[in-house]
A and B are shown apart, each in its own frame.
Chain A
Amino acid sequence: DAGITQSPRHKVTETGTPVTLRCHQTENHRYMYWYRQDPGHGLRLIHYSYGVKDTDKGEVSDGYSVSRSKTEDFLLTLESATSSQTSVYFCAISEPTGGNTEAFFGQGTRLTVV
């Protein structure tokens, strides 16, 4: 498996509290992504990064912010968690140059907002 780790793996938090999820990679891949997965909605892109300090919004970015201060870490922050943000969050990495453009996913983080 590619070197990609998400932390924490599980988290329960209260409405209104800030939450930060971390994605760490050891592959030196340029692209990193955050998705949320909900029944009936598949994988929806929240934010992605194409380099250090280079990020862009995905289709469901409202209520989320990201930061990438170094190649290996991509942080997803919920400034004030809401129950609608209860979901499974996946991080992914890819290096779309050269011959291999495969994206590798982390194990996922199950977040419950109560």
Chain B
Amino acid sequence: GENVEQHPSTLSVQEGDSAVIKCTYSDSASNYFPWYKQELGKRPQLIIDIRSNVGEKKDQRIAVTLNKTAKHFSLHITETQPEDSAVYFCAASYKLSFGAGTTVTVRA
């Protein structure tokens, strides 16, 4: 089955700086890579996703890049704001195997 590893487990950034979270996956057949954000006490919600036929996707301050050869993908958050503080999860394939999550804290 798919194995997804996510790093780092915690990330603290100054407001306005960028944050980068990286994930690797094991199944070369995986072709769908979503990112979810979970605020404290709430359910995870999709923030961005990318398919294997695309190398990069951007939506305002967030972007995702995919390297299929190396089997890794990354989430980039620019100009971080306090409301970006949350746990972020990457996933691979429609089976939705998740990474262990990254707790992002944006310092004011």
Listed by A's residue number, 6 A-B pairs whose Cβ atoms lie within 8 Å are: A42-B89, A43-B89, A94-B96, A102-B34, A105-B44, A108-B43
Bound-complex Cα distance A41 to B98 (A): 10
Q: State which size class the interface on B falls in.
A: 10 to 19
The verdict on A33 contacting chain B, using a C-beta distance below 8 Å, is yes
Given the complex, which residues of B lie within 8 Å of A59, measured CB to CB?
Answer: 1, 97
Which of A43, A59, A92, A103 has the most chain B CB atoms closer than 10 A to its own CB?
A43
Contact A103 B34 (CB under 8 A): yes
The verdict on A44 contacting chain B, using a C-beta distance below 8 Å, is yes
B75 to chain A, nearest CB (A): 15
Interface residues of B (CB under 8 A from A): 1, 6, 9, 32, 34, 43-46, 49, 89, 94-101
Given the complex, which residues of A lie within 8 Å of B46, measured CB to CB?
Answer: 102-103
The interface bits of chain A over 55-96 (1 if a CB of B lies within 8 angstroms of the residue's CB, else 0) are 000110000000000000000000000000000001010101
B96 to chain A, nearest CB (A): 6
Report which of A42, A101, A107 forms a contact with B99, defined as CB distance below 8 A.
A42
Known: A59-B1, A101-B49. A45 touches B44 (CB 8 A): no
A21 to chain B, nearest CB (A): 15
